[in-house]
Structure 1
Amino acid sequence: MENIRRSRSTLTALAFLLAGCAGGGVPQSGPHLSPTECRDLAALRGNAPPTKAQNQSELSALRKAGYNPSPWNDDPNFPEDLHAAQRLVDHWFETECQQFQPG
């Protein structure tokens, strides 16, 4: 009886995990960058020394753009995939973060 309960909870957890993976490939509607990411990316474009939080925001934005910085990801397309993600994040920043841009 204990094995059935354990199996059921394992299957439930697996179902949630698979649902999250399936939902991850769905294009996001609306803004791609959060206000925090916009603020931190704007600060990174300045000359001030970056903070850990700002670096984390930049990494989060790059991940949203499809870049996987995992050391176990043996990516034959590096650094082209990083540059493509950076271009996409730059585009999002220009179109979604006007309030944080100088001028």
Structure 2
Amino acid sequence: MLLGLEDVQQVAACTEASQTRQLGRSVARKRRNNRGALSAHLPRIDVVVDIDDKTCPSCQGDLHQIGEDKSDRLDMVPAQFRVVVTRRPKYACRACEDGVL
């Protein structure tokens, strides 16, 4: 009798595992559909990650900003949602054009 119950338990466990895997895949698909669509009504906090020294390491000339990378991240504070906008300015030297910092 125990062998018969063991087979039933194994079948039930396999069925439950396959359902869990299918559920996990559907949740992952749903999450990908909303990337980049953060609501405009949420408050935004700008965080700028900048370099300390804005002189060229090669020629000691002044660096100027040539662009920036921007990413939005949803942050949850208890009972409050907000969007944290992180900016990373890019700098380059006009004198030697050695690279981008």
Larger radius of gyration: 2
TM (normalized to structure 2)?
0.33
Q: Which structure shows the higher strand fraction? A: 2
Relative contact order higher in (CA < 8 Å, ≥ 6 apart): 1
TM-score (norm 1): 0.33
Higher helix share: 1
